[in-house]
Amino acid sequence: MRKLIKGIKDTRDEMLHKVSWPTWADLQESSIVVSVASLVIAGVVLIMDLSFKNIMELIYTMF
């Protein structure tokens, strides 16, 4: 039980004093980058999906 309590105290100490947390501005910038990248990837997947659909429809109409 003592090991568990010591582990929790050590974790708390490390999170408060040894971890460098990002600033609010850094978090906002990172969120924007992730949002834009997600939209770009979603757009690429949409284009691939529509292209594949059209190709498959073309193949199915030939037979």
Q: What is the DSSP string of 15-26?
A: HHHT--PPPHHH
Positions of the chain with pLDDT lower than 70, given as ranges:
none
pLDDT of residue 46: 98
pLDDT of residue 63: 82
Task: Provide the token pair at 32.
Answer: 């924007």
Cα 8 to its chain centre, rounded Å, is 29
pTM beyond 0.85:
no
Task: Provide the token pair at 35.
Answer: 């949002």
